[in-house]
Structures are given as C-alpha cells and as structure tokens.
Structure 1
Amino acid sequence: MGDSISSLPDEILGKILSLVPTKVAASTSVLSKRWRNLLSLVDRLSFDESMVVYPNEEEAKNGSQRFSDFVDKTLALLHNSPAIKTFSLCRVVNTKSYDDESARVSRWISTAMEHGLLELHLYAPTTGSNVVIESRLLRSNTLVKLTITGHYDFHETHHVFLPSLRSLYLMVFALDLYRFEQILHACPVLEELTIRRGDFPYMPAISFGTLVEHASIKRLVIVTDHPDHADYYLSSDYFDTALDTVRFQAPSLVYLDYSSFVSKEYDVDDLDSLVEARLSLKLWMSTSCYDFDDVYYYDYHGYLYDDDEPSPPIFGDVTCLVAAIRNITTLHLSPDSLEVFHFCCTSMPMFNNLLTLSIESNKQKGWQVMPLLLECCPNLQTIVIKGLVHKVTNRCGDACACNPQNPSQKKRKKIKENQKVCCLRTCGVKVLEISDYGGRFQELQQMRYFLGNLERLETVKVLVDPDKNSEFVRANVMALPRLSSKCTIQFI
C-alpha cells in the first residue's frame, strides 16, 4: 500500500502535525526527505515534561536538561515559521535552579510571542520555588487566550498590556490583590475570567477573587474556597480582612460560577445582563445546633415557641449578592448554598424571570430555604434535583415530606389556625428532573410528595442509580399517585 499521507499538500500535513504533541511532530522529520522540513509549518506547539517518566533521580536531572534542549532546538528550527498560534508548556520545575528556570521559561515565551501568538498556556506542577514571569513578556497585541497554572509568580505587573485578550485563566500560587487588579486593567476587552485555588492549600486566591471590576467580562468563574483549612482562617487575622467584603462590578456578565466560603458582606451592582448563575457557597461553621432553633422556625413558618436566648448569628451576609442575581433565568445551587441562602440572606428577592432551578442535595445539608425560594419564583418551569436525601430539621417546611422530631420537645402553638397552603400547590413547575435516584424510603416519600402536590406537572424524568434494582425502583415510582392528569414519568 502506498504512502497516501505523504502525498498530501504541505499545508495539510502542517495542520496534522499541529494536532499531535510537538515531540511526536518533531520525530516525523526522520521518516523521509518529504517530512524533513515540515515541522516549520506547525502552528501549535505543546511541550509536556510531565508525560516523561524517569527511572531515577539522576536520570530525571539529565532528562530535564534534555527536555530543555529539545524545546530550545525546536524553537530554533521554527525561527522562520510564519506563525505560531498556540504555545503550551508543562514544565516540571527543578527547584534547585529556579533562577535559571525562570530565565529559560522567559526565553521560550519571548520566542513564541515573536510569532504573533494567539494562545499561551503555562503549567508548573512541582511545589517549591516559583517561576517568575516578567511583566514585559505579557505585552502582546495578538494574544487572545492566556492560561497560567501552578507555581508561577509575578514580581511586578505594571508593564502588562494585552489589548486583544478575551480569555484569562489563573490558578497561580503567588498573586496578590494589587497585581491581580493591574492584570485585569491591562485586558480591556476581556470576556472570560477564571480564578481557581487549585491544589495549593494556603494559596491566597481567596484574596484576589474578592474584587472583580471589569466592564466587558461576560463569563466569570471563581473557585476560592479552602475546605481543608477552614479552622486556620477562622482563627487568624486573615478572617477579619480578606473575608470582609467581596465586590463584583461586571455589568456585561452573562454567566457566573462562584464557589467560596461565605464572606461578611457582598457589594455587588445589579447584574442585569446575567442569565445563569451557579453558586457553591459554604458556611464557616456547622449548623447542627441550629437544626431545631426556634427563632428561625418562627420567622419562616409562623410558629411561636417558649422564649429562650437566641443562638448567635452565623457569619456572613449574602443578601446583596442574591438580590443582584434576581433577573437570571437559570440558577444552580449546591447543598451548602441552600443553607447559606437560609442562614445568611435576610430578605429573598422575587426571581420573576427564573425558569430553571437546579439544586444538589445530600444528607448533611437541609432544605430549610426551599419553601421560601419556591414562593419567590412565580414563573418557574423546571426543577432539577440531584439526590433527594437531605438533612431533616424542624424548618424543612412544606417543600418536602419530612416529619422532623424536635429533640428538645418544646411546646408550640400555631399563630394561625388555618394550615398554610403547600408551596408546591402554587408552583407552576411543568418539568421535574431527578438524578441519582436510589429508591430509598425517604426518596420514595419525597417523590410521592412531589407527584401529589405539583398540579401542573407534565413531565418527570428520573435517572436511576445504576447500582440499584432499576426494575423494582421504577415500579415503585410508577405506582405513586399523581395530582396532574398530564403527568408522564420517563426513566433515563
């Protein structure tokens, strides 16, 4: 069989070589004279040292030098290349010579930038001293996408200027709020911004994720929580400073994905352009002692208990943040966010435009806010729930089938004799989607409660846990009575 690939035009072969790791592309030069000079047509360079396996420490040291030599040689061969669109570097940093490493990486970035680079992706996974990126390197009229992940540092950022950059991804170990602001101001047409803490336990990302002011950002993703070290931050001065106020000013924002421990307060302008929000907000402390706290039960459901000393307030106030997103059409809430909405939101706005509400549930977190939230979504069409099992408290309300038992056995009396109408009865939801359904007793009871109270329900989609006896689970669900005559049940 003839070599049909070699007969393709040079431009096509260059595109093919651009899709494979650069080491593979470079190795094709020894195939024949036809392939010898095709590397110069590659417009995507990808150097990944993490894929190299060294048998011992000495070999790793020598191998690391050989990797550097390979990058140098490849870039030298491409000095006449018309354009390099994408440059990706995953470098396992030798912490014993990080000054040389910074100089070496700077040289590579500079060389790539000279070719009108469109995308730059940098990753340094090794812990230890950081690779310093000089701000002069981040000056480009062509760069549209920048990713910096791992142990990189910016000693100064006042020379950064990226007038064409539209996508910025930062998951770096060392970056303070001041330098972060300078970088943002140097990207006037930025549309996508992602900030992540990553796998660095004491990384100060929570600091530079607390202030985002930009006129053109449309998509914002912030993941700055510290789940493994909450006690450390609670007991330090950091808790009183970095967690004081979070400010978002992004009038063009369309999508928000925000994951963090709750802050003291939020200063957020109205996000009138926002369409979809995904929130994973976490409390700094357990709410177990509040599960049967009467002060909240009185506020939400009209029950009056014997007077006791109220529990201390829970840290954080998301009232301003929740009010700012009131015009969205799609809202995703984590299990922790449900509790944050309950404990840290003093007034719930009307979500008049909300069409889809998606929540995730687990047995450690309650549904206390669900009745109030559903009442504030008059035009809701779809509810998506991952997992129906949740913590049972005496404030679950009428959005679920729970029958809580107050361990303190306090006497209570209703302020009103008439029973309040179930919030599900006034809910106009037509589509209910349930995933991770296992058919346990509490789940079956909750399904019965939904089907028996959502009178406008038309479609129920159930994704059954693959580890369960699906036929038995399906039969139990199909046997449940349905208030809506139009309701059909689909199993996925």
Structure 2
Amino acid sequence: MDLIITKFADDMGLETLITKCPVLESLTIERSFCDEIEVLRVRSESLLRFTHVADSDEGVVEDLVVSIDAPKLEYLRLSDHRVASFILNKPGKLVKADIDVVFNLSSENKFNPDDLPKRTMIRNFLVGISIIKDMIIYSSTLEVIYDFSRCERLPLFRNLSVLCVEFYGYMWEMLPIFLESCPNLKTLVVKSASYQEKGENIILPGPRRFLSSLEYVKIERPLKGEAMEMKLVSYLLENSTILKKLTLCLDDSVKKEDSVILKELLAIPRLSTSSKVVVL
C-alpha cells in the first residue's frame, strides 16, 4: 500500500487503516505538508517493508512522532528531516535500512546535550537500528550521531556488514566515530556530491581505533586530490588491519599518467600488508 500526500484526520487514522489490512507486507507513506496530528502510528504484525518520506522544507517545523511497531519488519527507509522523533518498537527482524533523518534538528535548532528527552529518543533509535546488517546512511544523520557521541557512547552495530555513506557537502570527520562502532563491518562504500572545506577542520584529533574487520572499500566520487579526500584515503589505509582492496578513481581533470596525486595515493602507508589500491 502506497499513501501519497495523504492527510490523516486524527492520530488514530493510520492505525485504524492498518488494522483493516491483516496481511499487509509493504507500506509507503509520502508526505508533503504538516498533518495536524501528533503521532503517526505504524502497527502491523505482518509488515515486512516500511518507507516514510517527506519533502525537506527547512522552513517547516514539526513535533510529529512516528512510532513503528512491526516485529517482522525486514526493510526500513526513513527520509524525513522534519519529524521530531522516530520510535522503533521491537525491531528484531530488521536486515536492511536507508536512513536520512535529523529529528528536526538544523543549523538553527542544534542538538542540545541538556535536552534529555531528545537524547533518550536518539539513543533508543540508534539501539533499534544497531541490529541491521546492510545500511545506507546520509551525512546529515551522521552529523547528529557525531553530536550525540560527544555526550554519550554510541551503541555497537555488531551485525553491520555492509555500509554505504552518502555525503552531500558535509565534512567526513564524523565518519570515523561511526565506523569504530561497527566492529564487524566488511564493506564500505563512500559516495559524495562534493567535499566541502570548513576552515581548518581536519581529521578528528586523538587516537583512532583500528578497523579490524574492514576488507573492501570503494570511494565512488572521482578524487581531485583535495586535502580532505587524501585524509579520508589515509585514514582508511592506515587504520584497516585486514583491508584487501580499496577502489577509487581520479577526476577527469587529473591525468593518471605521471600524476602527482596518483603517486601520493600509492605512497600512503598501509596497515594491511595484503591491501591493494585500485585506481579506475
């Protein structure tokens, strides 16, 4: 069932509809405006796939809570910067997820460590998705996770084996914090529309934990040799103990033949003696 630009009359509207669908396996909700409701409840004993998407109008402020109670849920996609709270109840079957949420935080409404209800909600949400094996996560969400990690330890994502990170103009410094909470991660794909310099920001200071399980890395954005790009490659090569292959490509503006950038990339020290750097 796909609900596109659907307006619910009250908090019970969606819940009542779902009760009439006892074998519902896939549900998609796409919103384009703020409903006059406080809680959107998704309760289903049969649901396997759930997608919740809303347009990203930064001028819209919502206190909406999306509560998901679907014990058989296997796939979850959340793409909504306006919802204030996502609650996952008993997500014991989750395998794959696509997460792009910020819990209504923004440059104007920043994460406040003293906001204990918000902290508790974020903690519970992270614990809920920590069972996932295959995940796509966006830099906006990583930024919230990084802010949260400065006041609380992140839960371990012990099952996470494959991770794809989508960056849109954000610095990548928040990435190591999350990677070090994924002790069994084997494959990492880094995508990005652009790397954005922010003053003199560099890789997070302090000792880094080794990435003891990472075997394959692919950086899909063509590299131009910018400082932050080189730091990302260095971090991955210098901290991955059993890395087998790192795949990247150079931008068309950079000639591969006798390229200074190529030489710098190949000269980066590698912790794993069996690792290969493949330049496409």
For the superposition of Structure 1 and Structure 2, which TM-score range results when normalised by the shorter chain? 0.7 to 0.9
CA offsets per residue over residues 119-172 of structure 1, 9 Å max, x none? xxxxxxxxxxxxxxxxxxxxxxxxxxxxxxxxxxxxxxxxxxxxxxxxx11112
Q: Distance in 2 between matches of 1:247 and 1:288?
A: 22
Amino acid at match of 1:367: E
CA offsets per residue over residues 217-275 of structure 1, 9 Å max, x none? 11111112x422x3342xxxxx4xx42x3311011111111112265544322311101
Residue 274 of structure 2: aligned partner: 486
User: 2:271 matched to 1:451?
Assistant: no
Residue 215 of structure 1: aligned partner: 45
User: 2:59 matched to 1:231?
Assistant: yes
Q: 2:101 aligns to what SS in structure 1? A: strand
Q: 2:99 aligns to what SS in structure 1? A: strand
Preserved CA contact (<8 Å) 1:338 1:367: no
Q: Percent identity?
A: 23
Residue 435 of structure 1: aligned partner: 220
Preserved CA contact (<8 Å) 1:435 1:462: yes
Q: 1:359 to 1:336 in 2, by over 3 A?
A: same
Residue 134 of structure 2: aligned partner: 330
**Cα offset, 1:372, TM superposition:** 3.6
How is 1:183-262 mapped onto 2 (pairs within 5 angstroms)? 183-197=17-31, 200=32, 202=33, 204=35, 210-224=40-54, 226-228=55-57, 230-233=58-61, 239=62, 242-243=63-64, 245-261=65-81
Q: Distance in 2 between matches of 1:341 and 1:350?
A: 13
Residue 152 of structure 1: aligned partner: none
Aligned with 1:272 (options 87, 92, 112): 92
Residue 379 of structure 1: aligned partner: 184
Q: 1:373 to 1:311 in 2, by over 3 A?
A: closer
Normalising by the residue count of structure 1, what TM-score does the alignment of the two structures yield? 0.48
**Cα offset, 1:285, TM superposition:** 2.2
Q: 1:222 to 1:289 in 2, by over 3 A?
A: closer
**Cα offset, 1:210, TM superposition:** 3.1
Normalising by the residue count of structure 2, what TM-score does the alignment of the two structures yield? 0.80
Q: 1:436 aligns to what SS in structure 2? A: coil
Q: Distance in 2 between matches of 1:275 and 1:319?
A: 19
Q: Distance in 2 between matches of 1:248 and 1:327?
A: 16
Q: Can you give the 5+ residue segments of structure 2 that lack an aligned partner in the other structure? A: none
Q: 1:393 to 1:279 in 2, by over 3 A?
A: farther
CA offsets per residue over residues 285-332 of structure 1, 9 Å max, x none? 217988xxxxxxxxxxxxxxxxxxx98659943211111122111122
Amino acid at match of 1:222: H
Number of matched pairs: 269
CA offsets per residue over residues 400-421 of structure 1, 9 Å max, x none? x5378xxxxxxxxxxxxxxx64
Residue 28 of structure 1: aligned partner: none
Q: Distance in 1 between matches of 2:59 and 2:187?
A: 38
Amino acid at match of 1:483: L
**Cα offset, 1:194, TM superposition:** 0.9
Q: Distance in 2 between matches of 1:403 and 1:249?
A: 37
Q: 2:233 aligns to what SS in structure 1? A: helix
**Cα offset, 1:174, TM superposition:** 3.1
Preserved CA contact (<8 Å) 1:366 1:392: no
Name which one, 1 or 2, has greater alpha-carbon Rg. Answer: 1
Q: Distance in 2 between matches of 1:169 and 1:464?
A: 41
User: 2:8 matched to 1:175?
Assistant: yes
Q: Distance in 2 between matches of 1:207 and 1:438?
A: 46
Q: Distance in 2 between matches of 1:280 and 1:366?
A: 16
Q: Can you give the 5+ residue segments of structure 1 that lack an aligned partner in the other structure? A: 1-167, 234-238, 291-309, 405-419
Greater helix share, structure number: 1
Q: 1:311 to 1:422 in 2, by over 3 A?
A: closer
Amino acid at match of 2:147: F
- Across the aligned residues of Structure 1 and Structure 2, the Cα RMSD in angstroms comes to 3.3
Amino acid at match of 2:13: R
Preserved CA contact (<8 Å) 1:339 1:367: no
Select the structure with the greater relative contact order (CA < 8 A; seq sep ≥ 6).
2
**Cα offset, 1:186, TM superposition:** 1.5
Q: 1:183 aligns to what SS in structure 2? A: helix
Q: Distance in 2 between matches of 1:287 and 1:431?
A: 38
